Each structure stands twice: as structure tokens, then as C-alpha cells.
Chains A and B, each alone.
Chain A
Amino acid sequence: MITETTSGNRGLLQHEPLIFETGHATGTGVDLPEPKGAQSKLGGLTRKAALDLPGLSEPETMRHFVRLSQKNYAIDLGLFPLGSCTMKHNPRLNERVARFDGFADLHPLQPTSTIQGALELMDELARWLMELTGMPAVALSPKAGAHGEFCGMLAIKAALEARGEADKRKRVLVPHSAHGTNPATAVAAGFVVDEIEGDEDGRVDLADVTAKLGPDVAAIMITNPNTCGLFERDVKAIADAVHEAGAYFYCDGANYNAIVGKVRPGDLGVDAMHINLHKTFSTPHGGGGPGAGPTVLSAALAPYAPVPHIVKHSWTAGVLAGEARVAALPVAGETPAVQEYSLREHTEGTQAFGRMCAFHGQMGMFTRALTYMLSHGADGLRQVAEDAVLNANYLLARLKPHFNAPFGGPKNEHWPCMHEVLLDDSSIKPKGVETIDMAKALLDDGYHPFTTYFPLVVHGAMLIEPTETEPKRELDRFADVMIGLAERVNAGDVEFFKQAPKLAPTRRLDDTRAARQPKLRWRRGANDAPAAKHAAE
């Protein structure tokens, strides 16, 4: 029972109006020197259009955003079980390091003599990524995972063009279980998507792959471990078949957390793989971004890596030589007396397929990720994968008696998952409860829901990834709540689920109305849509 208060606020949960409703165009929270006035070199192009942006003093601004923040769930609050998102703890040392003046107050186009540390950092990060994945090259510039996928697919396209086969090979094989970015990226790169079937075990059907391979296939895009949380057993056979057919193997690295330090994608025959620094390497999710998607490349694809390239020079016998970092790792035993870094920023004279973005990439994410890597080390990173897989399997063991986990192995009894657990709705739907209802009920218990309705290969998917930074106590707490909800479903309390959530900052929100009557911004004087009730009224 929730009793309405006078204000509509609920204890620490405050109703918070929009800044346009509380601020005004003459308010401001920044004190700047007074302009001297008069002269203008704008050529008459002074702004005539209204601005009307509200300003708030610093105390008001702090309050506004702090009140807003209290309506958000966060990793720092509790388990955030989203599958394939890898919601691990965001170390605060990373935040401190990212903010060193020597990193944050650096312009990308400063003369290279003034940014040697930055280039060395990128080189060091590259070495970690290449060593961990067993791949000889890495493109650091992609700004997000999907951007990295695009980078990998463009490298593949460039390799095909170099072989004179780009016109012939236009088909890309993508599993039905793939994340939506995979087919979207393939199309963005100019390919056509052909779906591969999954088998009864939740894995890619090798027979379907070999059946669909042909001289017109450019590449296959596989996620490994896959989006059902399972390791693709046939990955080597798939890689071999794909290479035999003259095509390339793109690996979606979103689930790399399950195998980091334990398995090297390079050993599995991967040609290109993007790595989500905001997943495996703990850079913050920030409410939706920024991400970073450096993409490791095989020797076959390395020549096509986009600019900029970091060039590491070494003095040998008094002569400065240049050696592109995109080539193989330096020969062991060679220690140049002085190292100097420079940037190759244009494609002329290279086989680079182009440029992914302005400047060099997400430096703010590089500093954080390298700090994370140094903190964990080779031993810590291996432990990360082991604990991530252990945590997921523990949850699976606790939840299996109460929910249906459709995949595993031949016996489906004690067969492991990797770092995430996939459940379907077959245990709840017959009782009138949908996956979305389970998710909303979880909110009242103080949890962000698991990923819903993805992957598409099962009905009403619930995908749960705990990550390695969850203590056992938190896993048990979550499992207890899930089991309690399952018992509620069995007891037939459908209304409970349909009415959820009751205790979250808002009740269930009307998606349909938002899409039918899109209201994407505030406008002065616009009539509000009917029946929008504010606590203040």
C-alpha cells in the first residue's frame, strides 16, 4: 500500500521537474569575465534565432541532477544481471588516472613531440590486447563495439578487394541468435546477410554453415561464447571451413569476458574481433556510453587497418627507422636505445581502408582500460574469466530447478554455460506470466531486470550475466528473489506481475503512447498531452 504524500514525493524519491520548468534564460551557474563589447567580425551573422536555454545556479543544478540520479539503478547499488553487457564493477582508480592533466588536457593534434606519453600508452594497450587475443595487429580507433564490428568488416572487404573478389563475395553468414548490430553492420559494409540455423544445443549448426558456404561468401560473423552463453564447440571446424571457402571469420567479442586470459581468439582461427572496453575491461557504461571498440586483426587483415597508425621508431646504428605497429610484434631481443612515436594519419602509401573517425580514438577509455589491465595482470585477468564463468554456473545451478534453461549439452543436466545463463519463458508463460512481467516484478525487489527477449532463438528469453565482481552472497540474494518470484508464478498470482512495478520511481511506462505521439523535446507554450499528472499539482 502506498499512501500519497502531500507533495507526491516518497521519502528520498523526489519528483523533479524539467530544467525548462524551473530555470530561466537569465539564470546562470557560471561566473565568467565580462566581455568588453562592441567589435564583431561575424560579418553580420549574429544570432537572431531565439535561444531560450534555461540556466540554473550551481546549488540548483546540483540538486536537479542529484535528484535525478536517485531514480537510477546502478552497478554500485547491486547486481545488474544484463546478459552480454558485462556489468562489472568500475574501478575508481581508473577514474583518477583518466583525469590526470597529462591525459585529459591533451589535444589530439598537438605536435607529436608533446604527446609521446599518449602514443606510448596506446602502444602499450595495443600490446596487451594483441597478447591476450593472440593476434598480430589491432585498430584502436573504433568508438564503440558496433563501430569495431564495422572496422572488422571493412578490413575484410578491403582484403577481398585486394584479391579482386569484392564483387564476387557479397554474402555474410550471420546466426539468427546474433546481436542486432551484426546484421546491421554487415549491411552497412555493403554486404547481404544470410542467416545460419542454430542446432538443438543452442550453438551454430556446423552442417548449415558448410551448406551455406560458397564462392560468393565474404565472411561469417560468430559470437563466441555465443549469445546463449555457450562456447561454440565447433569454432575451429567453422573457421577451417570458412577459410577453405576463401572467406573470413569475424568474431563478435562482446562475450570475451568468459575467456579472457584462458583462450586466445587467434588460436581459434579468428580474422577480426572487436573488444568492448566498456564490457571486458571495465570502462564505465555511463548510462549508455561512451564505449570503445578496438579491433584485433589477423595477419591477413592487418595491412588494411584504418588510419591513424602509430609508428614506433627505433634508432639502430644511428639511423632512425620507422616500423608500423600494425606489423608483427617486434623481434625478441631487439632493444632500441631511444624510442620515438609518430602518427601516420593519411591512407596514401598504405593499404588502409580509410578512417573510422576524427583524431585517434577513445583515449579516455584507453587510460581506464590499461589501468584495469595493469591492476589485474595476466593472472588477475585469467581469474576474471574463471570467476565470471563460475558465478554464472552457480546461478544456473540455483535457478535450474525453478526455471527452464533450454540449452546446455546432450544431457542438459550438469552441462555448463559460460559467463551467462539463458532461461526461456516455458515455465511461466503457461501460468499467464510473460518475461516482461517477471522483469517488472524484479524491479520492486530492488534489481534491474535481466536482458529480456534476446537472443531471439528462444521464446521469452531471460539472459543473466552476473560477472566476476559479484560476491557469492549477492548471487544467493538474487537467486532467492528469482526463486521467490517463480513460486509466486506457481501460486497463480498473475495480477501481482501485471501490476508491477509498484515501488519503483515510476509505475510501468506507456511505450505505445511514446511511439504513437512522439514528444521528443520540450517546447515553450506547447500544450501538454492529456492526463499528465504532476505531483506538484
Chain B
Amino acid sequence: MYSLALESPLMTTRYTKDHEWVRLDGDIATIGISNYAAEQLGDVVYAELPAVGKSFKQGDDMAVVESAKTASDVYAPISGEIVETNAEIANENWQIINDAPQGEGWFVKLRASNKAEFDALMSESAYADYVKGL
């Protein structure tokens, strides 16, 4: 039997073991930290985003997000070039990362250079299982 809710590739969110999420729309990927990561982090007090135009390989240090007591590195979940950063975060609206980490609290958009990397990431349910095991 097929699942009734056929996921459109445009809507699929995939996840990394380091708790980044990625949504791919054509070749533009929107990236942020997962609900789990935001919850573990606690109140965000600072985030540092990369500059537009900078390129990353999968796994590179890409951004930093901090709470009062921790600093977490955010790694590029897939390779590509940054085309946009979230203006809300640039304007120091840190709360948006806690309020909607997988929505309006996104970090960057990048142009994916290798979509196969996206396909190899964890699906929603695989990530949910992964988090349960932590």
C-alpha cells in the first residue's frame, strides 16, 4: 500500500545528525536548526550567519548559534553558495529562532551544488527516530 500523503519533493524536509534541516525548492535550499536543537539550546542570545556569496562544502562550519551557556556550530548540511540570509536574524531578532526554528527562524538559503547530497539526508521519520534514541 502507498502512503496516502504523498510528499511532494518541494515540501520535503530532510535532516542531519547535527540537527540541521533542509528544504529544497528547485536548487535553492532553505536551512535552519531543528525544533529539537532549538529546544536543547534554550533561549538564543546570538547567531552569526555567513556572508552572501560564500560557498561551503557539506559538513563545513557555516554558522554559530548561542544561548547564554552554550555555543553550537551549525554545519552546511549540503554543499552550495549562500544566496540569502534571514534578515530577522541579521536584525538580532533572536527570539524568532526559538519561536519558529523550522519556519520563520530559518538561517540561510543556498544554491545547492549537488542535490544527491540532499537525497541522502534523513527523512522526517528517520530523524524523529534518531532524536528518540538520544
Contacts and interface: CB of A to CB of B under 8 A. Distances in A.
Contacts of B94: 516
Contacts of A516: 43, 45, 94
A202 to B, nearest CB: 20
A516 B94 CA distance: 8
Interface string B46-78: 100000000000000000001111000000000
A257 B69 CA distance: 29
Interface in A277-316: none
B66 to A, nearest CB: 8
A435 to B, nearest CB: 12
A409 to B, nearest CB: 27
A432 to B, nearest CB: 15
Q: Is the interface of A mostly helix, strand, loop or mixed?
A: helix
Contacts of B66: 515
A31 interface: no
Contacts of A514: 68
B42 interface: yes
Contacts of B67: 512, 515
Sorting the interface of chain A by its residue count into under 10, 10 to 19, 20 to 34 or 35 or more gives under 10
B46 A515 contact: yes
A240 to B, nearest CB: 35
Interface in B77-108: 94
Sorting the interface of chain B by its residue count into under 10, 10 to 19, 20 to 34 or 35 or more gives under 10
A511 interface: yes
A512 B42 contact: yes
A453 B68 CA distance: 14
Contacts of A512: 42-43, 45, 67-68
Nearest to B67: A512
B72 to A, nearest CB: 13
A511 B41 CA distance: 13
Interface string A504-537: 0000000110111000000000000000000000
Residue of B43, B66, B67 with most chain A CB atoms under a 10 A cut-off:
B43
B108 to A, nearest CB: 22
Nearest to B134: A459
Nearest to A518: B45
A511 B43 CA distance: 9
B45 to A, nearest CB: 4
B53 to A, nearest CB: 27
Residue of B46, B69, B94 with most chain A CB atoms under a 10 A cut-off:
B69
A453 B42 CA distance: 15
Nearest to B43: A512
A515 B92 CA distance: 12
Interface string A414-433: 00000000000000000000
Contacts of B69: 453, 511
Interface string B17-48: 00000000000000000000000001101100
Residue of B45, B66, B67, B94 with most chain A CB atoms under a 10 A cut-off:
B45
A511 B66 CA distance: 12
Nearest to A436: B69
B96 to A, nearest CB: 13
A514 B69 CA distance: 11
A516 B67 CA distance: 9
B75 to A, nearest CB: 16
Contacts of B68: 511-512, 514-515
Interface string A438-456: 0000000000000001000
A514 B66 CA distance: 13
Nearest to B70: A453
Contacts of B46: 515
A511 B45 CA distance: 9
Interface in A352-379: none
5 contacts: A512-B45, A512-B67, A515-B45, A516-B43, A516-B45
* 8 tightest A-B CB contacts, nearest first: A511-B68, A515-B45, A512-B43, A515-B68, A516-B45, A512-B68, A512-B45, A516-B94
Given A512-B67, A516-B43, A516-B45, 13 more contacts: A453-B69, A511-B68, A511-B69, A512-B42, A512-B43, A512-B45, A512-B68, A514-B68, A515-B45, A515-B66, A515-B67, A515-B68, A516-B94
